[in-house]
Amino acid sequence: MTRVMAVTFTPGGRLYYVDPGSTEPVVGDAVLVPTEAGAEVATVVWAAADAEFASELPVCAGRATASDLDRDQRNRRLKAEVAAIARALIAEHELPMRVVGVDLDDRSSEYGRVVAIYYTAPQRVDFRALVRDLASSLAARIDLRQVGSRDAARIVGGIGSCGRELCCSTFLTELEPVGMRLVKGQDLTAYQLQAQGACGRLKCCLAFERGLYEDFEHRAPAMGCRVDTEHGPGVVVGRSVPSDTVTVRGGDGQRRVCPVSVVTVRRPGTDPVREDT
């Protein structure tokens, strides 16, 4: 077992798991988390608890000091300024690019500050003139990185059709491939828009919720199946995987939502149930 806590670098953003080390911060505390660009300020969203982790976790460097918080605020303002300058120059050069994120790295002594700008584009872009103008305006080495629609959604974040923060920008660490087979297996073939995420691609949840749908299909009666419920016999006319329920129309014509656990399939030869509406 390992002591683990979850932190985020942006409000409502992706969760990162770290070892609390010798500190015991509570939810809402600002802590220092080691990254490739050095220790960065993050906010604790899950307090430390014992859990099993196969890989080694980065160790928290302690609580953030006032100077750490000031540096973090300066970096956030600088990133916003860099993004604004990049968007203005992109518009000036009339390039089909959209800035989705900015990273700063001050550790390189050979090149000075390195500014990484993440962008999306419908095709390859000749940005050589743009890079020269950006380097001149920002007095830094410029690293332009094109990302796909899924990675752009992960960087920008947002709210999905379910009303929660995007999975890719919160807890998902790897983006699994999602195919039409998963769409058909979750009865979304007739509702293509329901299967699309904020990035315009098939939703990531179709992949990691697959097991839930397979288990439901194994336990729940099929559509049109005659069943017995606490209200009497009926016919299954609807199914809901998230709530683990089926809708049953009884002999009196009433439709009732019943948990799968209390519904049993009627044995052959029992009294029929009227199927007319």
- The token pair at 204 is 């990531």
Q: What is the largest CA-CA distance in the chain?
A: 85
Per-residue model confidence (pLDDT) at position 119? 95
Residues of the chain with CATH 2.30.30: 221-265
User: Along the 277 residues of the chain, how does pLDDT read in single tens digits?
Assistant: 788 999 988 877 788 889 998 888 899 999 999 887 788 999 999 888 888 777 788 999 999 999 999 999 998 999 999 999 999 999 999 999 999 999 887 655 455 678 999 999 998 889 999 999 999 998 889 999 999 888 888 888 888 888 888 888 877 777 777 888 788 777 776 566 778 888 888 888 888 888 888 899 889 999 999 999 988 899 999 999 889 999 999 988 899 999 999 999 887 655 555 444 4
Amino acid at 89: L
What are 246's strand-pairing partners?
A: 239, 258
- The token pair at 95 is 């390039």
Q: Read off the pTM.
A: 0.69
Helix (H, G, I), strand (E, B) or coil at 49: strand
Q: What are phi and psi of 262, to 5 degrees?
A: -110, 10
Q: What are phi and psi of 88, to 5 degrees?
A: -65, -45
Angle subtended at Cα 90 by Cα 72 and Cα 156, rounded to the nearest 5 degrees: 45
Q: Which CATH architecture has domain 221-265?
A: Roll (2.30)
Residues of the chain with CATH 3.30.300: 69-147
Q: Which CATH architecture has domain 69-147?
A: 2-Layer Sandwich (3.30)
